[in-house]
Amino acid sequence: MKSFTLQATCTTTNARATTLVLGHGPLETPVFMPVGTAGSVKGLTTSTLEAEPQNNQIILANTYHLALRPGPELLGEIGGLHKFMGWDRNILTDSGGFQMVSLLALAKITEEGVTFQSPVDGTQMLLTPEESMRVQNNIGSDIMMALDDVVSSVTVDDARFLEATHRTLRWIDRCIAAHARPNEQCLFGITQGGLDVSPGGLRDICLTGMLKRDAHLPGYAIGGLAGGESKDHFWRVVLHGCQRLPINKPRYLMGVGYPLDLIVCTALGVDMYDCVYPTRTARFGTALVPKGTLKLRNLSCKVDMNPIDATCQCSTCHTHTRSSLNYLFSENTTLAGQLLTVHNVAYMMQLVRRMRKAVVENKYPTFVINFLQVQFVGKEVPCWVVEALMAVGIDLTKEKELVLEVRTKEAAEAAEAAEAAEAAEAAVVAVAAVAAVAAVAADPNEPPAKRQKDSHS
């Protein structure tokens, strides 16, 4: 990373506006990164991504899928993914770790790495920390993610979370050692630890370990979320991570892309996001609009001559009506998904730019309240949103125009009981962690978790 500048911080919340200068230009945050898993964002050309109001400064690609096809050797020979796809702006590559969850049935995880059975032709591929770095070095991404041991957030196996937390720290050392282009490509560490944010718990263990390697890591990600966990757990893990991660480095929340999540998590202190949601939902006919979503396949759109969103500056909203898009979707045309993908990406980019402007002008709390007033007309603002924003200084109970979801006495008692149970479990895990550290001290070459069975499938 050539530079990282903190332009502005909200005086009420943890929201901030920063600029990273990377190998292919500046990256202003808060930022949403469209997902181009295999080297392209479905339905969009690179010129469309560059055009206003999209003006994407960065996209995301996936190491695992690019390693399968077209392969790291070809990408290395031609000078990297930028040249291969005709994109001269920034690229972030995931390490392939997420596929440990999404392709778990096809994966076997050991201390060496993860062995995948290709969903394409059934062949075996061993992805180690060293191989992930080699592939990403050949891809030439501006930001490359460390290979981590990812566990689904809804897993109930505490021993598996303990194993993955410590393995993630061992693997980050292997990634740092194998990274061949540290002056050209930024390596981000990924914090894991499940939903355990108790003092000295798994999230703390992983964060402490990552911060010991801070000199080698230009940025950090909060991983292991967006996998079906409750929103109450979700926001607490995000806040916990942001409170401990360095102020002078970017914070990336992996796999998160719902507009409401961006609004709340930016208040908690996150800078960067990615998700397939805006592009995938477009292909099914759902548009992102200020009030939430608009299903263009619905009969109500058949004779509606309005644009998707009258406030949107995208080319689709300038040239097509809801009625015409309804017809294109009813005919199952490829064009329908392409047009709506343009709009949804434009919506996300216009949203994060308004968020950034609000932070710079020190008006982020007002921006959040205005967003909620539009999004939740006639609907209750969820409890988790109210509580998350309260934790960073935005008190929605004072806003008379908002209807807030209220926890029943029974629900509150259940939540307290669940927290007590989690605290008890965390204490057990902490004891196990101490034992693991002691074991490492006795034999540093032996993995601390599950020595007798060093795999998970």
Which residues are tagged catalytic?
A: 94, 274
Pair 121, 89: CB distance under 8 Å: no
DSSP helix/strand/coil, 455: strand
Pair 369, 310: CB distance under 8 Å: no
DSSP helix/strand/coil, 376: coil
- Find the distance separating the first CA and the last CA of the chain, reported in whole Å: 36
What one-letter code names the amino acid at 380? E
DSSP helix/strand/coil, 33: strand
Residue 274 region by backbone torsions, left for phi larger than 0, else alpha for psi between -120 and 50, else beta? beta
Burial 12-44 (b: 16+ CB within 10 A, else e): bbbbbbbbbebbbeebbbbbbbbbbebbbbbbb
The sheet with strand 143-145 has its strands ordered as 31-34, 272-275, 251-253, 219-222, 186-191, 143-145, 90-94, 58-62
What one-letter code names the amino acid at 234? F
Cα four-point dihedral sign 220, 169, 194, 275 = positive
**Two tokens at 197?**
């944010």
DSSP helix/strand/coil, 339: helix
Q: Would you give the distance in Å from CA 243 to the centre of its chain? A: 17
Cα four-point dihedral sign 387, 390, 394, 395 = positive
Q: Which of 95, 41, 56 is nearest to 348 (CA)?
A: 56
Beta bridge partners of 104: none
Dihedral angle over CA of 101, 129, 191, 245, nearest 10: -150
